[in-house]
Amino acid sequence: MGIITVLTNGFKKIGHSNWGWLLIGMFILLFLMPPFIPRFFVYILGLIYVTSLLAMSLNFLVGFGGMFQFHHAVFYGVGAYTVALILTKTSLPPWVGFVAGPVAAGLVGLLIGWFCVRLTQLYFGMLQISLGSLIWAIVYRWYKFTGGDDGIHGIPMPQVLSSLNQAYYFILILLVVSLVLLYSILKSPFGSTLQAIRDNPQRCAAVGVNVRRHQLRAIGIGTFFAGIAGVLFVVLEKSVFPDLLFWTLSLEVFIMCLLGGWFTFGGPILGAAITVALRTFVGKYTEYWTLILGVILILLIFFLPEGVMGYFVEKFKFRGNSGNERGTA
Amino acid sequence: MGFLPNIGPAEVLSQLLVGLSRAMILFTVCSGLSFVLGVLRVPNIAHGSLYMIGAFATFSLSKWIGGSAGFWLALLLAPLVVALISLIAERALFCHLYQREHLMLLLFTFALALILGDLTKIVWGAEYRSVSAPDLLKGSVSLLGASFPRYNLFLIFVGLAVAVALWLFVNRTKIGKVSRAAAVDRDMVGLMGINVSWVFAIAFVIGCCLAGLGGALVAPTVSITLGMDHTLIIEAFLIVTIGGLGNMWGALVGSLIFGVTQSLGVLVFPQFAIVFPYAAVVIVLLLRPKGLLKSVW
Amino acid sequence: MLRVEGVVKSFDDFLAVNEAHLLVQKGEIVAVIGPNGAGKTTLFNLITGQLRRDRGRILFQGEDISELPPYEVCRRGLGRSFQIVNVFHRLTVFDNVQVAVLSHQKKSNTLFHPAGSLAVVETRSLLESVGLADKGRRIVGSLSHGDQKILEIAVALGNNPEMLILDEPTAGMSPEETAATIDLIRHLAKTRGLTILFCEHDMEIVFSISHKIMVMHQGRTLLQGTPEEVRNDPQVQSAYLGGTDA
């Protein structure tokens, strides 16, 4: 099957390059960490992984697809709520919930996306915000079904995922698998055509690409992975609440991509890690984290618009020619 | 179902008025948002925060001045406070970004919203505040068998006054006409020797001032809380979108649709009243994705 | 091969194209000339589908393409380059052309196969035929303007079109680059059997390589004929050729 070959090819490729060994080393290190570090750090790392996947799924559409995906959190929330509802309201086996989450997110993504791709840029974004807000409003008010304002808590996890460490391993593995998949998609013809659409949709149409359909397919993929992130959130937190669908989260994720660098592959991960870490540790000293986030954003806009990683990539480009190849995904 | 047992014409009329008055507040805020959107081509995410500051400032001012006069003076001064804040933000930071791509401007307004949100928390704390209406506007009048709160009638009157004032401003004053021209073609305006940056500054400040006015007007009708900015800005964005980007009359139409659907929705399905305006927005956008009225650009 | 009949297009009140006629036979090189604002680029946009005509018909190889969107027009075998450089600026030169080739091979949607190993031969040979093979790995933003315009042509060729529409292919080029590009166009036309429709301001080029010339003025077709016929026509002379290009 295509996906299995891809994964094995992907891992083989990693094994052949220098970066690859570094990544594998990091992965092994992270995998082995939980018994040796305090519980709290295990939790924070898990949260970083979940948020990284969310940010990566957004950047797939924004940084590599050039689309104004302004309300991505909706799909994250749909994924989370789907698995939460299946686990609490039905007696279906848990894995059904785990699969249904991303699928539901992808379907909602395609539905909303179908309306949005007919528009460009700002109109695309505004329509998505309105459709997404409608979903939020329904979830927020439907107390009987979704728990409304309170959300749903104490979601039962299968035995194999019940402890924090087990949840950590599961989340890390799924993060890595998702990242490998996303990377191969970006390196495939689908991915280069997507980036070409980002750079110049008119030219793409002139070379025979059905731009709208391609964008819609990309939306399906991006929202699917957002749904996976939502499921992983539930595995970690064992609860859901309407804030997962609120527009402020969508914009925060946008900022993470900007912070990390949205034209690089790993940028959003860095952005997510920095944001979550800052939020946690700053939160210990002050309750005005939002203020600090705002200041950071302003600094970014004025001084570092390519993001942290983007900045370094630019630096490497001028150092030597080898940078040119890594200029894109 | 959630149907109330006795919906007569009196209830409908009463809710209609509530919806209209709420629409007038929304219009005051959204006309400002639309104006900024039209001239600067950027949706100002900080608009909700400025509205909230307007409400809190009204609370403080009216408490400090005291009595009925307190509210009237606060109504006058709070928007000016908000205008001042926006002027500082604009001249210190925002104006340096005018040459950058629009996404950066949008993100700046988001950063501003975040900062102002927390500043509000720092200055006023997290408790609920409330403002009482002045004596002149307390109580209700009876009309056509239904009772109408005086304050709501006042709001309708103010909303219409704002609409008229804006029309006069945009069509009869020099600054207004220049702003309108800049919305359509800023390069041309620059070539005519007019300092486009100042045009933007004025447009931004006026837009934000309207947000503050909206906040001041809403103060006696709701509890003033810290989440106000978030809920409002989403509603404002949607209204401006269905009205046609940058079109102030579109903002009026959008506000009416939003306000009335929500208040009538309360009669039909009280638990989900909040869903009705969002659904209405979705329907409008599916039929007319670029808004009901023509966008300014 | 391409027939444009009585096409009209107006924007609000401005009549950009007013009864334009054009006939291009297979294998010909046809030029469209006219002063700035005559409607040449609008006409090209109408042919390739970026704009919709108000009236008139556009037929390509017998098929009415008047209503087709740009990507369908391209798939019918009609390639195009743009007046203002219009490439994928964050991608490498190689990637730019490869996107077009992949689209032609209908492989744009392949999800799980690395693009690096697909359509490599075709892309490389295309780059070689336009002389950009050694710059394959460079990001487009770092190329000179002249090279970018050649890349435009290479991208358009990626779809293996039967006919190529070139909108001012030598605009902004130095005399050496211009001569090289014209040679390239002539060479490509011969080796690939391409039919070429282009527009230019440089009259020397136009008269030296075109089989037929169509003259536009204020949106309408004044005349279409051989270079000799066009040169001697009194209407054309008074309207356009009297001075140098605008």
Q: pTM of this prediction?
A: 0.86
Cα dist. A281→A164, A274, B139 in Å? 20, 11, 51
pLDDT, averaged per 10 consecutive residues of chain C (246 residues), comes to 78 79 85 80 86 85 86 88 84 88 81 77 81 80 84 87 87 82 84 86 82 83 82 76 48
Mean pLDDT of chain B: 87
How far is it, in rounded angstroms, from Cα B36 to Cα B89? 14
Q: Is residue A38 classed exposed, middle or buried when 0-12, 13-18 and 19+ CB atoms within 10 A define those classes?
A: exposed
Q: Which CATH class is domain C2-77+161-228?
A: alpha beta
Q: Tell me: the pLDDT tens digits for B78-134? A: 999 999 999 999 999 988 888 888 788 888 999 999 999 999 999 998 888 888 888
Residue A284 lies in a domain: no
Q: For residue A310, how far is the Cα from the chain centroid?
A: 18
Quickly count: other Cβ atoms within 10 Å of residue B139's Cβ: 11
Residue B4 lies in a domain: no
How far is it, in rounded angstroms, from Cα B111 to Cα A296? 8
**For residue A230, what pLDDT is reported?**
95
> Which of A127, A246, A291 lies nearest to residue B285, judging by beta carbons?
A127
- In sequence order, the 6+-apart residues with CB closer than 8 A to the CB of A85 are A145, A146, A152
Instruction: Choose the mutation target among A11, A203, A217, A313 for the interface with C, i.e. most C CBs under 10 Å.
Output: A203
Nearest chain A Cα to C157, which residue? A207
- In sequence order, the 6+-apart residues with CB closer than 8 A to the CB of B163 are B27, B31, B252
Q: Which domain holds residue A180?
A: 33-256
Please, where are the H alpha helices in chain A? Answer: 2-16, 18-32, 39-62, 73-89, 94-116, 121-141, 143-146, 164-187, 189-199, 201-206, 211-237, 247-260, 267-285, 289-303, 307-319, 322-325
| Domain count of the fold of chain B | 1
How far is it, in rounded angstroms, from Cα B78 to Cα B89? 17
From the CA of B84, how many Å to the nearest CA of chain A?
20
Q: Which residues of B touch A293 (CB under 8 A)?
A: 111, 114
Please choose, from the candidates A272, A304, A289, A251, the residue with its C-alpha nearest in 3D space to the C-alpha of residue B45.
A251
How far is it, in rounded angstroms, from Cα C80 to Cα C74? 8
* 3-state secondary structure (DSSP) of residue A64: coil
From the CA of B110, how many Å to the nearest CA of chain A?
8
- In sequence order, the 6+-apart residues with CB closer than 8 A to the CB of C188 are C129, C130, C153, C157, C164, C194
Confidence of residue B188 (pLDDT cuts 50, 70, 90): confident
Cα angle A226, A232, A236; round to 5: 145
Tokens of A321: 């020619």
Give the dihedral of Cα atoms B241, B245, B249, B253; nearest 10 deg. -10
Please choose, from the candidates C75, C80, C93, the residue with its C-alpha nearest in 3D space to the C-alpha of residue C166.
C80
Q: What order do you get walking across the sheet with C29-33 strand by strand?
A: C78-81, C163-167, C195-199, C29-33, C212-217, C220-225
Give the dihedral of Cα atoms B72, B77, B82, B84; nearest 10 deg. 170
Give the dihedral of Cα atoms C20, C26, C32, C38; nearest 10 deg. 20
Residue A296 lies in a domain: no
Q: Which domain holds residue B134?
A: 28-226
| Secondary structure string (H, E, C) spanning chain B | CCCCCCCCHHHHHHHHHHHHHHHHHHHHHHHHHHHHHHHHCCCCCCHHHHHHHHHHHHHHHHHHHCHHHHHHHHHHHHHHHHHHHHHHHHHHCHHHHCCCCHHHHHHHHHHHHHHHHHHHHHHHCCCCECCCCCHHHCCEEEECCEEEEHHHHHHHHHHHHHHHHHHHHHHHCHHHHHHHHHHHCHHHHHHCCCCHHHHHHHHHHHHHHHHHHHHHHHHHHCCECCCHHHHHHHHHHHHHHHHCCCCHHHHHHHHHHHHHHHHHHHHHCHHHCCHHHHHHHHHHHHHCCCCCCCCCC
C interface residues, A as partner, C-beta within 8 Å: 48, 50, 69-71, 74-75, 79-80, 82, 86-92, 95-96, 98-100, 102-104, 107-116, 118, 137-139, 155-156, 158-159
Find chains touching chain A: ≥3 CB pairs under 8 Å: B, C
How far is it, in rounded angstroms, from Cα A329 to Cα A187? 7
Nearest chain A Cα to C114, which residue? A188
Q: Across the interface, do B114 and A137 touch by the CB < 8 Å criterion? A: no
**For residue A107, what pLDDT is reported?**
96
pLDDT for B18 beyond 70: yes
pLDDT, averaged per 10 consecutive residues of chain A (329 residues), comes to 61 63 83 85 93 95 90 94 91 90 95 87 83 88 84 85 87 93 90 91 88 93 96 93 90 89 88 91 85 90 80 62 38
**For residue A1, what pLDDT is reported?**
47
Residue B117 lies in a domain: yes
Cα dist. C79→B40, B47, C85 in Å? 38, 47, 15
Residue A94 lies in a domain: yes
Q: Across the interface, do B114 and A119 touch by the CB < 8 Å criterion? A: no
Residue A285 lies in a domain: no
The residue written with tokens 């940078």 in the block is A323
B interface residues, A as partner, C-beta within 8 Å: 43, 45, 93, 96-97, 100, 102, 104, 107-108, 110-115, 117-119, 121-122, 230, 234, 237-238, 241, 245, 271-272, 274-275, 278-279, 281-282, 285-286, 289-290
Q: Across the interface, do A294 and B274 touch by the CB < 8 Å criterion? A: no
Q: Across the interface, do B110 and A251 touch by the CB < 8 Å criterion? A: yes
Q: Which amino acid is at A143?
A: Y
- In sequence order, the 6+-apart residues with CB closer than 8 A to the CB of C230 are C213, C215, C223, C236
| Domain count of the fold of chain A | 1
CB-based burial, B232-242: b 16+ in 10 Å, e otherwise: bbbbbbbbbbb
> Which of B113, B275, B289 lies nearest to residue A119, judging by beta carbons?
B289
From the CA of A199, how many Å to the nearest CA of chain C?
5
Name the β-bridge partners of C14: C11
**For residue C244, what pLDDT is reported?**
44
pLDDT for B288 beyond 70: yes
* Residues A317 and A269 sit within 8 Å (Cβ to Cβ): no
Q: Across the interface, do A328 and C109 touch by the CB < 8 Å criterion? A: no
Q: Tell me: the pLDDT tens digits for B221-260? A: 888 999 899 889 989 988 998 998 888 889 999 999 999 9
**For residue A161, what pLDDT is reported?**
81
Quickly count: other Cβ atoms within 10 Å of residue B121's Cβ: 15
Residue B197 lies in a domain: yes
Q: For residue B128, how far is the Cα from the chain centroid?
A: 21
The residue written with tokens 């006919």 in the block is C163
